[in-house]
């Protein structure tokens, strides 16, 4: 995510970012920052829920930015999340999806973060 300061901003240490300076925010780094997340590399969907299953907001408001933030947030973010839920629910209603017990996910970081290589899944109609 790239941003350009509107006004001069002084960083800790005295460095000043002036308007016209491109600032790159490494979202993948933010999402894996141990100062913001306990065990950030561990798959734990529950970190986004309270004990009763409701959404939690106990984290820093800038700790999770899958679609950016502010006035330039991705215009399709709500659609993407609705589509994800609909597609995933449809697949899981109709199929059982199994991964080998010894399989380890290896990620590749390019423009987007994705799995490296094949996903060895077994899909069985319900």
pLDDT in tens, 12-63: 999 999 999 999 988 888 999 999 998 898 888 888 877 666 666 677 888 8
Coil/strand/helix, residue 67? coil
CA angle 21, 61, 7 (to 5 degrees): 25
**pTM over the 0.85 mark:** no
Find the mean pLDDT for residues 4-9.
93
User: What residues does each domain of the chain span?
Assistant: 1-74, 76-126
CA distance linking residue 8 with residue 120, whole number of Å: 50
Q: Is the pLDDT of residue 118 over 90?
A: no
Q: Which residue spans within the chain are E strands per DSSP?
A: 2-3, 9-10, 16-17, 23-24, 95-98, 107-109, 113-115, 122-125
Half-sphere exposure of 28 (CA within 13 A, CB side): 8
Which tens digits make up the pLDDT trace of 73-113? 999 999 999 999 999 999 999 999 998 888 888 877 777 77
């Amino acid at each position: 995510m790239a941003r350009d300061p509107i006004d001069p901003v002084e960083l800790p240490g005295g460095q000043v970012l002036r308007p016209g300076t491109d600032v790159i925010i490494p979202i993948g780094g933010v999402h894996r920052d141990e100062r913001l997340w306990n065990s950030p590399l561990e798959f734990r969907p529950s970190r986004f829920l309270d004990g009763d299953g409701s959404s939690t907001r106990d984290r820093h408001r800038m700790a999770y930015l899958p679609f950016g933030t502010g006035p330039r947030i991705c215009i399709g973010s709500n659609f993407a999340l609705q589509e994800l839920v609909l597609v995933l629910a449809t697949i899981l209603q109709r199929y059982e999806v199994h991964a080998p017990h010894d399989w380890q996910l290896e990620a590749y970081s390019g423009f987007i973060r994705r799995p490296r290589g094949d996903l060895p899944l077994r899909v069985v109609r319900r």
